[in-house]
Structure 1
Amino acid sequence: MNPDTIIQIGPLALALDRLLAVGLMLAFLTALDWIARRYRVAAWQPAGLALLAGIIAARAGHVWQYRESYALEPVAALQAWLGGWDWRAGVAAAGLVVIVTLRQSRPVLAGLGVLAGLALAWAGFLAAGESKSSLRLPQALTLERVTAEPGVSPHWQIGDLRGRPIVLNLWATWCPPCRREMPMLTRAAATERRAEILLVNQGETSAQIRVFLRAQGLDPAHVASDPSGLLSEMTGAGALPTTLFIASDGTVRQVHTGEITRVQLDIAIRALERP
């Protein structure tokens, strides 16, 4: 199953990878607490300390790995709730704390065994979702320009954009996280040279969109309209905003559900440049 899968429960949209990560962390806490009691380890909260160390190291490892992207918006390094973790660094840090706090060989081996088992489960989950996407947007797919310019076609056709990476952000004027990310996305669309960025409204009329853009003082140059919501239907986007990262051959390489930051946008565009 794809790690980016979204589970819809009524109005709530929950990412499968985050649900699994929370489940594995709870399993780690439960197992390590049992081991500490079983072997009568005289240490203060070894499970909690190991988990905390793992979370901090996983975040720090991710920020360091993508330091060029975080240089665009350094404060985003502190916004851990938006995602971005190096799970290998987290496992290494948690293992070190297990060794230091449990000390005795039997509980240490038991604790490391639990950690290794949970890490393998996570690695297997990620590997299962790494198969390349077969979803390709049809070249004839047509999007409407929100603003008409003399001598410019009133439509964008996906086939005309082939040959370079494309980023399609699916949004609506009634969606609060969409409204929050729109200023950043319109600026990025105007300046980004590595990929074509289009902000594709879902299900609203061009007139509605123009009123919204005018009220917010946003540049409409890279805003398109998909009044039938066809893109959401084709790609299975169950929530807005959703951002599609499409390789130069037209294959949807990555799907980001929920609000996106400038750093996350940059990281995903860099990934599109890799074969």
Structure 2
Amino acid sequence: MNPDNIIQIGPLALALDRLVAVGLMLAFLTALDWIVRRYRVAAWQPAGLALLAGLVAARAGHVWQYRESYALEPVAALQAWLGGWNWHAGVAAAGLVLIVTLRRRKPVLAGLGVLAGLTLAWAGFLAAGESKSSLRLPQTLTLERVAAETAPLPPWRIGDLRGRPIVLNLWATWCPPCRREMPMLTQAAATERRAEILLVNQGEASAQITAFLRAQGLDPAHVASDPSGLLNEMTGAGALPTTLFIASDGTVRQVHTGEINRVQLDIAIRALERP
């Protein structure tokens, strides 16, 4: 998700794609209600059944498509509110339900026409947002190490990490979603071999970060500090936590705004491996 697709209202960050999806679903229900009344269809709630079938199929299709990632955390398959949908499967299921429930030729054609129109609108929205980011982090960007309590260690330099995918998670100790995802991210950073994962604190003092990590029993080995918040400003991340997925050439491929789970992290890292 690109930061441009986030609507910021004070401390609240709303995903534009979810707002558009909700709007299209409401339009579907409204249009189908008119069709049912126009053609006097006797079926019970065809629009609601089609929408429900579409949502279930879209979620199931996504979980099946990324089944290797969901094997890491099977319970995440039930956390549909975190996102993850295969809209092709959803549209197919909704269309099938419309055919079965509307039955007669005219209402079926009208219903499928509405579904097709809204599907094209959704496809156009997705296509407009899929232009690859041209943002490249400067090779001179450096991040301070937090783990250096005994002997000073050189900072991480983005240029030195080039040549392999990088995942940068922007976080702060005062951020509740950041605190929730930290145990998973520190463990993933220690075991992940496909990408370098760094947890980059934004704007807090090293002593405060170290105290937080010690109190939570978290490994500081992959925790970095960006005391000026330069990375947050440079990438346009409007909320914390934000996770940046950076290809081996230094291009920011994907931006995940909000809390991330192990499955979402794995799916995004797999995407970094593709050209």
Q: What TM-score does the superposition give when structure 2 sets the normalisation length?
A: 0.98
Structure 1 residue 201: Cα displacement: 0.3
- Determine if contact 2:147/2:221 at 8 Å carries over to the other structure: yes
Partner of 1:55, secondary structure, is: helix
Partner of 1:116, secondary structure, is: helix
| Mapping for residues 103-252 of structure 1, pairs under 5 Å | 103-148=103-148, 153-252=153-252
Structure 1 CA distance for aligned equivalents of residues 4 and 97 of structure 2: 30
- Determine if contact 1:202/1:228 at 8 Å carries over to the other structure: yes
Cα 1:2–1:109 shift into 2, 3 Å: farther
Match of 1:3 in 2: 3
- Determine if contact 2:3/2:237 at 8 Å carries over to the other structure: no
Structure 1 residue 148: Cα displacement: 1.4
User: Structure 1 residue runs of 4+, over 6 Å off?
Assistant: 149-152
Deviation sequence 1:115-158 (CA, Å, 0-9, x none):
00000011111111111110000000010001217776331110
Cα 1:220–1:2 shift into 2, 3 Å: closer
Structure 2 CA distance for aligned equivalents of residues 267 and 47 of structure 1: 32
* 2:15 is the alignment partner of 1:15: yes
- Determine if contact 1:170/1:202 at 8 Å carries over to the other structure: yes
Deviation sequence 1:174-205 (CA, Å, 0-9, x none):
00000000000000000000000000000101
Moved more, 202-211 or 143-152: 143-152
Deviation sequence 1:188-244 (CA, Å, 0-9, x none):
000000000000000101100000000000000000000111111011100000000
Partner of 1:133, secondary structure, is: coil
- Determine if contact 2:3/2:255 at 8 Å carries over to the other structure: no
Note the residue ranges of structure 2 that are not aligned, 5 or more in a row.
none
Structure 2 CA distance for aligned equivalents of residues 4 and 112 of structure 1: 32
Structure 1 residue 58: Cα displacement: 0.2
Structure 1 residue 41: Cα displacement: 0.1
- Determine if contact 1:3/1:126 at 8 Å carries over to the other structure: no
- Determine if contact 2:167/2:245 at 8 Å carries over to the other structure: yes
Report how many aligned residue pairs link the two structures.
Answer: 275
Structure 1 residue 11: Cα displacement: 2.1
Partner of 1:218, secondary structure, is: coil
Structure 1 CA distance for aligned equivalents of residues 263 and 236 of structure 2: 25
- Determine if contact 1:178/1:259 at 8 Å carries over to the other structure: yes
- Determine if contact 1:50/1:94 at 8 Å carries over to the other structure: yes
Percent identity of the aligned residues?
A: 91
Note the residue ranges of structure 1 that are not aligned, 5 or more in a row.
none
